[in-house]
Structures are given as C-alpha cells and as structure tokens.
Structure 1
Amino acid sequence: MQNADKRRRSRRPVATYRDYVAAQGAVDRLSDGGFPVERLTIVAEGLRFEERVMGRKGYGRAALEGLGAGALPGALIGFLFGLFSLVDPLVSGVALALYGLLFGALLGGVIGVVFHALSGGRRDFSSVGSITAERYSIFADEEVAESAERRLSREQ
C-alpha cells in the first residue's frame, strides 16, 4: 500500500488534451513507439454532470419503458429454461422465449406503472445523464515523464 502511494505522488502531467480520444491517441502512439505505457495515467479534469431532459413521463411512457426493460430478460430466461427440455431443446427454447418475452413485458409494464405512481409526481420526466470533462491530462511516473514529454512534443 505504501509503495502504491509513493508511485501515485511521484507522477506529473506531461500533456493535456481537450477530449478523451486525443489523449487516448497520444498514449496509443507512445505505445506504438515502445514507450512503457503502464507508467502512464489519463486523468479527466474539470468534471461535470449533464442531464438532458428527453420529455414528459406519464403512466403510458412509464408502462412502455417497463415493458421494454422486462421483455428482453424474460425472453432470455425463457430461452435458457427451454434449452433444458428433453424433447426438443431448440423448439422448447424458442417457445419459452416467446412466453418469457410476453410475461417479462407484462410484468415490466406493471412494475413501471407502479413505480411511477409511487414517485408521487416528483419525477415526471425522462432524461439521459452523462459526465463530461474540460480536459484530459496524461500523467507519467517521474522517472519517465521527461521522455514522454519529449516524444509527445515531437508529434505536435
């Protein structure tokens, strides 16, 4: 544990990029050049959470979301149970997958409506959340930081 703390403290930034793809590309180029990339870390800095509101959520939408969430697991579980049939595993698997899809969709829809009703109107909208960063810095162990800086500066 003490060794890991020492390594973490002896790192310094060698390059900064505006997006993750650029930072990942820089590490990939270092790797292609034989650099010991296990001594690098990509650090996202200036994180913020964004939640994009997609629309209102009523009982109908709650039922549809629950229906979609329950259908696939129901079909998968039904198919797996059907494969254990002694008569014809494939036919049984497909038949039980269809029954599982229907049952999972129905159960998911009911659960979606019940949970929406229990929320008491506190969350009557659908949204998608994401985390974004202002910049991505590449940190390197102190022993190899100068070499990484030199190689990355030659590329720019």
Structure 2
Amino acid sequence: MFGQNLPPGAGAPGPDLANTGQVIASYTNYAGAQRAVDYLSDHEFPVENTAIVGADLRMVENVLGRLTAGKAAASGAASGAWFGLMIGLFLGIFAVRAHGWLWLVLMGLVWGIAAGALFGWLGYKALGGRRDFVSTSQIVASRYDVVVRPDLAERARNLVGRLEL
C-alpha cells in the first residue's frame, strides 16, 4: 500500500500545531526557523510534533522589467523550441533512416520556435497593454514561529536555546 515505508506520523494529518502548539522560538526569516527544526532533528527531537508558522503574511511582487511584443515573442519562441524539440525527438524514434531522424528533430525545433513566437506575440497583443511588465511574486511573512506540542515545548526550548548560543 502507498506510504507503508514512511515513519509513524509522516504524511498523515497531525495535530493543528499552528493553533494548539507553543511557540518555542521566532525568527525574522524562514531559513532561521528551518535551521532550528533541523537542529532539533539532529538532536533526536520528534520533529513530527513541530511546525513552522509564518505570521503577518503579505504578497510581494517584484517587477523585473518592461514587457514588449518582441520580448513576448522571444519568450514564446524559447518555450516553443523546447516543445518542438521534444516532439521532434519523439517522432524521430520512429524514423527508419538516420537522416530522416535528424530532419524530423530539426523540423520539430523550427516549427516549435515559430509557433511559440506567434502565440507569445498573440498573447501579448490580446492583453491590449493591460500588463506590460514581467514580474515574480511570492508570499512572505514578517516572522516565522517554531511551534511544538505543549508537552514537548520545554525540551524543544532547551535544545533550541543551545543553538542560539
């Protein structure tokens, strides 16, 4: 059956530690909270009773630059190239002659680039200037709390206290 080799409690819904657990440490970044849980694990603490809870969440969108019709077409061409190459290689498996295989791969690549560029350009034009920029977005927290089951909180607090020394 699926999941039989997992340790007890792994992958199974556990207690709602975000609401019932005790905060043993708080960090300004996720890496700090991750380091604390890793330290607990290294010292054989039952980390399946631990959670990292982000507080005061906000969505941050970083604008990378202006999007133009040319950039949209180029991005589409790059995506299309990979897709066309994959299709060409797949069809090339069934080619009888060696030069037929190479021709199919190259044609797949060319058609993929052309179709990707066209669809990228059309997608840009369809937006009508409503989103002329490229960006990435992520959810960040102002604080990351490490919480554990209340009956294990004192032990965890003592261990993590040694980490911060």
Which TM bucket (shorter chain)? 0.7 to 0.9
Q: Secondary structure at the match of 1:96?
A: helix
- 1:62 counterpart residue number: 72
Change (3 A) 1:98 1:130: farther
For residue 149 of structure 2, the aligned residue among 137, 141, 146 is 141
- 2:121 counterpart residue number: 113
My pick for the range that moved more, 125-134 or 101-110, is 125-134
Q: Secondary structure at the match of 1:128?
A: strand
Aligned residues of 2:67 and 2:132 also touching (Cα < 8 A): yes
After superposition, give the CA deviation of every residue in 1:86-132 in whole Å (9 maximum; x if it has no partner).
555xx766543332222111111101111111111111122222222
Q: Distance in 2 between matches of 1:6 and 1:139?
A: 10
Residue 32 of structure 2 aligns with an amino acid whose one-letter code is A
- 2:43 counterpart residue number: 33
Indicate the structure with greater helix content: 1
Q: Normalized against structure 2, the TM-score is what?
A: 0.79
- 2:60 counterpart residue number: 50
- 2:23 counterpart residue number: 13
Q: Secondary structure at the match of 1:46?
A: strand
Residue 62 of structure 1 aligns with an amino acid whose one-letter code is A
- 1:150 counterpart residue number: 158
Q: Distance in 1 between matches of 2:28 and 2:108?
A: 47
Q: Normalized against structure 1, the TM-score is what?
A: 0.83
My pick for the range that moved more, 97-106 or 118-127, is 97-106
Residue 30 of structure 2 aligns with an amino acid whose one-letter code is Y
Report % sequence identity.
37
State the aligned residue count: 152
- RMSD of aligned alpha carbons: 2.3
After superposition, give the CA deviation of every residue in 1:127-146 in whole Å (9 maximum; x if it has no partner).
22222221211111122122
Q: Distance in 1 between matches of 2:61 and 2:70?
A: 22
Q: Secondary structure at the match of 2:52?
A: strand
Q: How does 1:65-144 map to 2 (within 5 A)?
A: 65-85=75-95, 87=97, 95-144=103-152
Q: Distance in 2 between matches of 1:119 and 1:56?
A: 14
Change (3 A) 1:146 1:107: same
Q: Which runs of 5+ in 2 are unaligned?
A: 1-12
